[in-house]
């Protein structure tokens, strides 16, 4: 075999008969693996017909608008062919040695990082042809006039999904790195990749959930969620954890954290070096964490107001019992922030708004007018289909939500792992955040239906009395407690421009801060790492764009800004207390049993109610 350097300078100089023989051998071996897998299968899942019908309808409308303006279509085609002709000329010169290899792009596409995509004339042409065609298609779709906003969002999103899927980097025959690896390993990478695929198909409960990390590399309570503390309360929906203090004195007002129930809370308590819980405890806070149950069919009738009443409202009562303090500083993350706003408005309407002395909203939507690309999955037809599925089994499978969010960043969260796991045959590396991301949770049918319809479909939370919880009209505008909003600039789940609109709904003192990076990395940003900065602006103008235009950049973590902001609301210092106060109130060691329930391991789902609660 030619050496690596020469093979990559002229990839098709390899003995292609050898490659054909390797692929034939892989095919013969793979037949046995596939047959073994098929024999184990007894059920198959259908395609989401409602979603497919909506996509088809949107593209039919796109086609009609496109054909209604043939002159524009002709101009678009002519511009494309002119650019393509220029590419053919440039590629021909490079193939003949008339031009040197192209200079690296200023912001290179991660899919084409391998040197051969630039230096090999054939693969450079494949790459550039794909990028040119993708750009032309995207522009043609974006330039179509007359589409309503919802239809435009759908066609642009699914056009992007299609273009991402057909990238030459995703296929063995057009990816020079994969071809080289296949030749050098004699197809062993493809056999390993097929095994990885079959294992992902067989693992359950998802029809297919690509492994992003080694799911055996961590154990919750041993490697992750290791901050010491006690479970001091449990009901059907929550375990309330009180963390052990690390300082002799603590702030008088406790800190209550409400994480999203779409994921598990330990994203805020990963390992020592990136645990927000640990850091908050070190700042002298008595930290309480709501740990949500991973629901099943028994939770089908739990509604959104149950999540409020059995969640933060009950937690406030238990915190007062444990500490004697009726007021807390509260933090809500993502959906937990939406629930925090509802809870604060609910308490305010009953004359108890002071119980939430200050509220912090981390990447939280209150106004849902622009939820971002997740909106493509949410219209009347698709929500009705969700409800039909949820009502049949009592909950929405966590796999459905996980896969939907992965589609929002398909190149990073789908295709990169298809290449790594199935075509390279590699094993994903251990990564705590991706382990958490893959540790999916279910959604109770009644609660999730209310959430999708009232928040995403109709945006009722922003309207005074738009929703009613426990017979109390919810009015965000009546919240008077100080509020701190932290959002992140690259968030694809809760767009910062939309979370900014939620900040404007509050009438108390409000501080809005914008962090760098995305929905998770920008929030879980420990100061010692000095990784992501933030922007601040003491004013709160009417638009997010105006806010950013006058914002000041800082290199430090937003955590430091939050501590400074929250300082006036902490109360005096008091002696630190043992979690729960009395041993009888210590039901279990942190992290408790709710958080260890994994969908891919049903045996972890057993979580007995302590005798103290029976």
Do 175 and 269 belong to one domain?
no
Mean pLDDT, range 474-502, rounded to an integer: 97
Mean pLDDT, the chain, whole residue set: 86
In a domain? residue 243: yes
pTM of the model: 0.86
Cα gap 557→553, rounded to integer Å:
11
Count other C-beta atoms under 10 Å from residue 216's C-beta. 8
Structure tokens at 183: 């030749």
Q: Judge whether 197 and 421 are in contact, CB under 8 Å.
A: yes
The better pLDDT of the pair 568, 39 is held by 568
Distance CA 151, CA 108 (A): 31
pLDDT of residue 12: 46
Domain membership flag for residue 222: no
Residue 134 sits in the same domain as residue 234: no
In a shared domain, residues 189 and 236: no
Residues 522 and 515: beta-carbon distance below 8 Å: yes
Q: What is the mean pLDDT of residues 232-249?
A: 96
Confidence (pLDDT) at 99:
56
- Range from 424-428, 534-538, 604-608 carrying the lowest mean pLDDT: 604-608
| pLDDT at residue 585 in the model | 64
Which pLDDT band holds residue 433 (cuts at 50, 70, 90)?
very high
On whether both 471 and 539 belong to a single domain, the answer is: yes
- Regarding whether 289 and 173 lie in a shared domain, the answer is no
What average pLDDT score do residues 51-66 get?
67
How many C-beta neighbours within 10 Å does residue 536 have?
Answer: 16
| 503: CATH | 3.40.50.1820
Residue after which a domain boundary falls, among 173, 197, 221: 197
Instruction: Assess if residue 334 is contained within a domain.
Output: yes
Q: Please check the confidence at residue 451 and state whether its pLDDT lies above 60.
A: yes
Higher pLDDT, 581 or 479: 479
Average pLDDT, integer, range 429-440? 90
- CA atoms of 374 and 383, how far apart (whole Å): 12
DSSP run (H or E) holding 565:
helix 558-566
Q: Is residue 433 part of a domain?
A: no
- Highest mean pLDDT pick, 39-43, 64-68, 420-424: 420-424
Using left for φ > 0, alpha for ψ between -120 and 50, and beta otherwise, residue 608 falls in: beta
What is the pLDDT, as a whole number, of residue 113?
92
Q: Kindly state whether residues 334 and 467 are assigned to the same domain.
A: yes
Residues 267 and 152 placed together within one structural domain of the fold: no
Is residue 2 very low, low, confident or very high in pLDDT (cuts 50, 70, 90)?
A: very low
pLDDT at 314 over 70: yes
pLDDT at residue 92 greater than cutoff 90: no
| Res. 586: pLDDT tops 80 | no
CB 314 within 8 A of CB 293: no
Domain that holds residue 20: 4-41+51-197
Residue pLDDT, tens place only, 93-129: 877 775 544 555 566 789 999 999 988 999 999 999 9
pLDDT of residue 319: 96
- Please, which pLDDT band fits residue 16 given cuts at 50, 70 and 90? low
Catalytic-labelled residue, pool 206, 334, 399, 593: 334
Report the range of poorest mean pLDDT among 52-56, 227-231, 234-238, 301-305.
Answer: 52-56
In a domain, 203, yes or no: no
* pLDDT confidence of residue 464: 96
Range 129-158 average pLDDT: 88
Taking phi over 0 as left and psi of -120 to 50 as alpha, with beta for the rest, 145 belongs to beta
Tokens found for residue 96: 């003949």
Share of the chain above pLDDT 70, in %: 83
In the numeric block, which tokens belong to residue 284?
């002298």
The answer to whether the beta carbons of residues 430 and 213 sit under 8 Å apart is yes
Do residues 269 and 278 lie in contact, with contact meaning Cβ atoms separated by under 8 Å? yes
* Integer angstrom CA distances of residue 466 from 22, 312, 338, 413, 453: 64, 21, 14, 36, 12
Let me know if residue 321 belongs to a domain: yes
Task: Report the chain's terminal Cα–Cα distance, integer Å.
Answer: 72
Whether residue 465 has pLDDT greater than 90:
yes
pLDDT at 42: 41
Q: Answer yes or no: is 409 within a domain.
A: no
Q: What percent of the chain has pLDDT over 90?
A: 57
**Domain closes at, from 197, 219, 246:** 197
pLDDT at residue number 601: 62
- Same domain? For 179 and 79 the reply is yes
| Active-site annotation holds for 334 | yes
One domain, residues 164 and 241: no
In this prediction, residue 103 carries a pLDDT of 52
Is residue 254, in this structure, part of any structural domain at all?
yes
Domain end, chosen from 180, 197, 214, is at 197
Does 480 or 98 have the greater pLDDT score? 480
Task: Answer yes or no: do 237 and 189 share one domain.
Answer: no
Tens of pLDDT, residue by residue over 205-219, are 666 778 889 888 999
Q: What local confidence, expressed as pLDDT, does residue 412 receive?
A: 87
pLDDT tier, 599 (very low <50, low <70, confident <90, very high otherwise): low
Q: What is the dihedral of CA 84, 85, 86, 88, to 10 degrees?
A: 90
Confidence at 432, pLDDT banded by 50, 70, 90:
very high
Q: For position 89, what pLDDT does the model report?
A: 85
Question: What's the pLDDT score for residue 607?
Answer: 61
Is the predicted pLDDT of residue 475 greater than 80, yes or no?
yes
- Most confident region among 51-55, 59-63, 176-180, 580-584 by mean pLDDT: 176-180
Nearest to 386 by CA among 463, 452, 320, 323: 452
pLDDT-wise least confident of 26-30, 415-419, 432-436:
26-30
607 and 476 within one domain:
yes
- The segment with the largest mean pLDDT, out of 158-162, 413-417, 554-558, is 554-558
The answer to whether the Cα torsion of 497, 440, 206, 234 is positive or negative is negative
- Count of structural domains within the chain: 2
Distance of alpha carbon 543 from alpha carbon 192, whole angstroms: 52
For residues 234 and 190, membership in a common domain is answered with no
């Amino acid at each position: 075999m030619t050496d690596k350097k020469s093979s990559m300078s002229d990839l098709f100089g390899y003995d292609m008969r050898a490659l054909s023989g390797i692929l034939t051998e892989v095919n013969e071996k793979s037949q046995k693996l596939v047959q073994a897998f098929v024999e184990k299968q007894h059920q198959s899942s259908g395609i989401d017909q409602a979603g497919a019908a909506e996509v088809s309808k949107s593209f039919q409308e796109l086609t009609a608008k496109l054909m209604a303006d043939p002159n524009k279509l002709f101009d678009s085609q002519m511009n494309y062919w002119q650019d393509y002709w220029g590419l053919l000329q440039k590629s021909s010169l490079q193939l003949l040695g008339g031009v040197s290899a192209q200079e690296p792009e200023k912001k290179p596409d991660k899919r084409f990082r391998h040197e051969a995509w630039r230096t090999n004339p054939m693969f450079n042409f494949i790459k550039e042809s794909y990028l040119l065609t993708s750009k032309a298609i995207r522009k043609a779709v974006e330039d179509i006039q007359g589409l309503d906003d919802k239809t435009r969002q759908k066609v642009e999103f699914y056009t992007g999904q299609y273009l991402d899927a057909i990238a030459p980097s995703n296929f063995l025959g057009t990816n020079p790195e994969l071809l080289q690896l296949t030749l050098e390993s004699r197809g062993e990478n493809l056999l390993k990749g097929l095994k990885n695929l079959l294992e992902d198909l067989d693992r359950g409960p998802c029809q297919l959930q690509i492994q992003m990390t080694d799911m055996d590399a961590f154990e919750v309570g041993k490697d992750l969620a290791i901050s010491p503390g006690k479970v001091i309360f449990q009901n059907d929906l929550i375990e309330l954890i009180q963390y052990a203090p690390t300082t002799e004195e603590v702030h008088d007002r406790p800190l209550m954290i409400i994480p999203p129930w779409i994921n598990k809370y330990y994203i805020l308590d990963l390992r020592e070096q990136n645990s927000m819980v640990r850091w908050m405890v070190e700042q002298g806070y008595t930290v309480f964490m709501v740990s949500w149950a991973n629901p099943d069919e028994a939770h089908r009738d739990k509604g959104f107001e149950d999540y409020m009443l059995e969640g933060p409202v009950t937690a406030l009562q238990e915190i007062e019992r444990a500490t004697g303090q009726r007021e807390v500083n509260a933090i809500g993350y993502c959906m937990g922030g939406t629930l925090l706003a509802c809870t604060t408005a609910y308490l305010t309407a009953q004359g108890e708004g002071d119980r939430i002395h200050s509220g912090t909203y981390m990447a939280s939507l209150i106004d849902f007018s622009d939820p971002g690309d997740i909106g493509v999955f949410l219209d009347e037809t698709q929500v009705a289909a969700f409800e039909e599925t949820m009502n049949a089994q009592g909950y929405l499978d966590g796999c459905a939500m996980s896969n939907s969010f992965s589609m929002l960043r398909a190149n990073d969260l789908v295709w990169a792992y298809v290449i790594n796991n199935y075509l390279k045959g590699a094993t994903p590396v251990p990564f705590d955040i991706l382990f958490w991301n893959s540790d999916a949770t279910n959604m109770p049918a009644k609660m999730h239906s209310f959430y999708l319809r009232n928040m995403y479909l109709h945006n009722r939370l922003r309207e005074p009395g738009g929703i009613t919880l426990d017979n109390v009209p919810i009015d965000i505008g009546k919240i008077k407690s100080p509020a701190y909003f932290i959002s992140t600039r690259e968030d694809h789940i809760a767009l910062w421009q939309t979370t900014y609109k939620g900040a404007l709904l509050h009438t108390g003192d409000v501080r809005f801060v914008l962090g760098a990076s995305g929905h998770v990395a920008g929030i879980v940003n420990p100061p010692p790492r000095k990784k992501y900065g933030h922007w601040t602006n003491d004013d709160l103008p009417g638009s997010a764009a105006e806010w950013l235009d006058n914002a000041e950049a800082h290199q430090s973590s937003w955590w430091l800004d939050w501590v400074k902001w929250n300082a006036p609301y902490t109360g005096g210092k008091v002696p630190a207390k043992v979690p729960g106060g009395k041993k009888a109130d210590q039901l279990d060691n942190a992290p408790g049993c709710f958080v260890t329930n994994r969908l891919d391991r049903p045996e972890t789902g057993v979580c007995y109610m302590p005798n103290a609660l029976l």
